[in-house]
Amino acid sequence: MRTEVTKTDVAVPTALVECIEVTKDFAGGQSVVRALRGINLSIRSGELTLLVGPSGCGKTTLLSVIAGILTPTGGTVNTLGQQLVWLSARQRAKLRLKSIGFVFQQFNLVPTLSVIENVALPLLIAGVARPVALAAASRELESVGLKQYGKQSPSRLSGGEQQRVAFARALVHQPRLVVCDEPTSALDAATGHKLMQTLRETAVRPERAVVVVTHDPRVVAFADRIVSIEDGVVTKDENQTISSY
């Protein structure tokens, strides 16, 4: 049975990310590859936005620019009230640590740390007391069904379990912006559905937003907006009604 999902907070959405005529070039031998060709896009609070399109169209590059990992070649990017081109590398790193959560396609877990330490890492780097950080990490691991594996090495987990650890790490510091690159790529249907439900619950909070790059059609049902990208430009930006099953 299909039922409409309504947001519990009626606050007017605000733009947490604003991209204006953003370009990004990469050197390719004697030539230059333009990955982004004048992107204009707002990411609004309280929404889960999908970035979709063919491989190589610029989705992941745009995600990295929004999060301050890559510096745009041209245009402006305002993320969480900060003009990123005006920030130093250290200031951008501080912004990411405090206010942005990441779910990478390759997980990027630290093999020398335990599972719970990997999840707690953003808090530990930020100077949170170790017992407090580990307690928060334990709660996030419980939310993804992996609390029992906290003391194990990430290498002992399956790919899908490692993806869920990465997801817990992305949310442990309560970020305002969560960016995800193919978050369901290593997950079975049931686990992917549960993860997307959690992302959805994160996104509908009025002070937060979630941006997801994906090729997975199963994810579409969870999105407020679907932004299509081709050859480095936005070709379509559609709102949709969210339903649950």
Tokens of 239: 């709102």
pLDDT at 11: 57
pLDDT at 155: 93
| Side-chain half-sphere CA neighbours of 221 within 13 A | 15
pLDDT at 245: 40
Residue (of 171, 154, 170) closest to 115 by Cα position: 154
Residue 79's identity, in one-letter code, is: T
For the chain of 245 residues, list the mean pLDDT of each consecutive stretch of 10. 43 85 89 93 94 93 94 95 93 93 87 96 95 96 93 92 91 93 85 85 85 90 94 93 58
For the chain, list the domains and their CATH numbers: 3-244 (3.40.50.300)
Is residue 87 classed as helix, strand or coil in its secondary structure? coil
According to DSSP H, which parts of 49-88 are helical?
59-66
pLDDT at 99: 95
Contacts of 87 (CB under 8 A, 6+ apart): 68, 95
Residue 124's identity, in one-letter code, is: L
Is residue 240 classed as helix, strand or coil in its secondary structure? coil
